[in-house]
Structure 1
Amino acid sequence: MSVAPTPATAAADAVTDARALTQKLSRSLGIPTATALIDQARPRPVGSALAGLFARGGLPQGEVVSLSGRAVLSLALACCAETTRDGGWCAGIGLGAPAASAMRDLGIDLSRFVCLDTPAQDWMRVTSILLESFDVLVVDPGFSASAGDRARIAAKLRDSRATLILLNGPGAAKGGVKERGSSFPGSSERLTVLEESWEGTDRGTGRLRSRTLRLRSAHTGEHTLVLPDSHGATTAPRSRPSSSSAAPVASAAVSHSVPAGTLRLVSDSSTRSDGAP
Structure 2
Amino acid sequence: MSSRAATAASPSPELIRQLRARTDAAVDRAPQRVFAVPSGLSGLLPDAGLRSGSAYTLDTAGALLFALLAEPSRAGAWCGLVGLPEVGAEAAAQAGVVLDRLALVPRPGDRWLAVVAALAEVMGVIAVRPGGAVRPADAARLAARLWDREATLLVVGEWPRAEASLRVEAPHWSGVGAGHGYLTGREVSLTVTSRRVPRPRSVRLLLPGPDGRLDTVVPPATAVGRLKAVG
Q: Report the TM-score range of the alignment, normalised by the length of the smaller protein.
A: 0.7 to 0.9
Matched, 1:34 2:27: yes
User: Would you say the 8 A contact 1:73–1:167 is kept in 2?
Assistant: no
Deviations 1:33-76 (A, max 9, x none): 12322xx52411112222223111111111001111x4x33211
Question: Shift in Å at residue 80 of structure 1?
Answer: 1.1
Q: Which residue of the partner structure matches residue 134 of structure 2?
A: 145
Q: TM-score, normalised by structure 1?
A: 0.68
Of 211, 214, 219, the match for 1:231: 211
Residue pairs, 1:88-237, within 5 angstroms? 88-168=77-157, 180-181=158-159, 184-185=160-161, 187-218=162-193, 219=197, 221-237=201-217
Provide Cα deviations, 1:92-141, integer angstroms capped at 9, x if missing partner.
00111423222122111110011112233221111111111110001111
Q: Does 1:55 align with 2:35?
A: no
List, as ranges, runs of 4+ consecutive aligned residues in structure 1 with deviation greater than 4 Å: 13-20
Write the distance in 2 (CA, Å) between the matches of 1:10 and 1:100. 59
Identity among equivalent positions (%) equals 27
**Residues 10, 128 of structure 1: alpha-carbon distance in 2 compared, 3 angstrom cutoff:** closer
**In structure 2, what is the equivalent of residue 4 of structure 1?**
3
Gaps of 5+ in 1: 27-31, 169-179, 242-277
**8 Å Cα contact 1:67/1:166 also seen in 2:** yes
State the SS of the aligned residue for 1:142. coil
Deviation at 1:211, TM superposition (A): 0.7
Partner of 1:75, secondary structure, is helix
Q: Which residue identity lines up with residue 152 of structure 1 in the other structure?
A: R
Gaps of 5+ in 2: 222-231
The structural deviation recorded for 1:18 is: 11
Write the letter of the residue equivalent to 1:47: P
Name the CA distance, whole Å, in 2 between partners of 1:205 and 1:83. 37
1:225, distance to aligned residue in structure 2 (A)? 0.8
Identify if the C-alpha distance between structure 1 residues 205 and 12 changes in structure 2 by more than 3 Å, giving closer, same or farther: same
Contact 2:128 2:156 in 1 (8 A): yes
For 1:198 and 1:217, locate their aligned partners in 2 and report how far apart those are by CA, in whole Å.
22
1:118 and 1:54 map into 2 onto residues whose CA distance is 30
- Which stretch shifts more, 57-66 or 101-110? 101-110
- Higher RCO (CA 8 Å, separation ≥ 6 residues): 2
Contact kept, 8 Å, 1:91 with 1:134, in 2: the verdict is yes
Determine if the alignment matches structure 1 residue 76 to structure 2 residue 65: yes
RMSD: 3.0
Secondary structure of the 1:108 match is coil
Aligned residues: 213
Q: Give the AA of the match of 1:147.
A: P
Q: Distance in 2 between matches of 1:49 and 1:144?
A: 32
